[in-house]
Amino acid sequence: MWLEKFDFEGRLVIVTGGASGMGSACASTLSELGADVHVLDVQEPATTVGSYHRVDLRDEHSIDAAVSAIGSGTVHALFNCAGMPQTFPYADVLACNIAGLRHLTESIVPLMTVGSSIVNVTSAAAFRWEPQTEVLNEMLDTPTMAAAIDWFGDHPDLGDPYVFSKMALSLYTLRRAPQLAPLGIRMNAVAPANTITGMTDHFVEAVGQKTLEIYERTIGYPSTPQQQADVMVFLASAAASYIAGVILHVDGGFLAAATTRQLKSKR
């Protein structure tokens, strides 16, 4: 009976970034559990899914076209796995990782019903978002995707665009979850530490291998995409039916060690 809580049979789910990395692992796992999986990505997935729609999260029209193509049926879960690393242009990273993601999410919400779930992918690198609350709220108060992109244009000094976008996504999750909960829609997020995906080389280029290895010092090794996908699927399942507004750090103990000043020095 308990295992039935992980049954996604007949449920329509959307996975952004479902062609690679955590998104691909998430899409494959959901398919195995019976879900009707619809992948939104700039590249076509290698595995069989319910449908694939090419989407560029930097482009509002691309997002709207994909949502329209999915139709008016009930969406039971949305997994926001797509993202761009900081090696891409500043404005593109911010547009994709938070402005476009938010626009897509808000476009899908009206298609959701009681018992639906949204799972965002933020980052362990964004764990110090609270000191930035004022500027993050200012950005999140922009009413539209176009307004958010204009806001980014007026703020060319936000630092690492990947980290800022993930900070914004963390706060977006916390702000939006209490508003969606009364509708029976749960929003949560995972905050992965270093995970080996196609983006890893980009992160090495941007911050260096030694910086990435800081996130591994507690448990001793990086995460796999499947380890992240397992938690995302759990958060969207009936087994997590009373979890809402949580940023779950899937980081091998990094946050705990950093918070309590127990990060071990590399020998």
CATH number for the domain including 21? 3.40.50.720
Does the pLDDT of residue 266 top 80, yes or no?
A: no
Residue 42 placed within a domain:
yes
Residue 157 placed within a domain:
yes
Q: What are phi and psi of 175, to 5 degrees?
A: -75, -45
Confidence tier at 2 by pLDDT (50, 70, 90): confident
pLDDT above 70 covers what percent of the chain?
99
Residue 265 placed within a domain:
no
Residue 264 placed within a domain:
no
Cα 60 from Cα 64, distance rounded (Å): 6
| Residue numbers of the domain that contains 122 | 2-259
Residue 135 placed within a domain:
yes
Q: How many domains does the chain have?
A: 1
Confidence tier at 267 by pLDDT (50, 70, 90): low
Lowest mean pLDDT among 84-98, 199-213, 224-238: 199-213
Confidence tier at 80 by pLDDT (50, 70, 90): very high
DSSP H stretches of helix in the chain? 21-32, 60-70, 90-94, 101-108, 133-140, 145-153, 161-180, 200-207, 209-214, 225-236, 254-259
Residue 215 placed within a domain:
yes
In three-state secondary structure terms, 13 is strand
Residue 214 placed within a domain:
yes
Residue 100 placed within a domain:
yes
Q: What is the pLDDT of residues 42-75, one digit of tens each?
A: 999 988 899 999 999 999 999 999 999 988 789 9
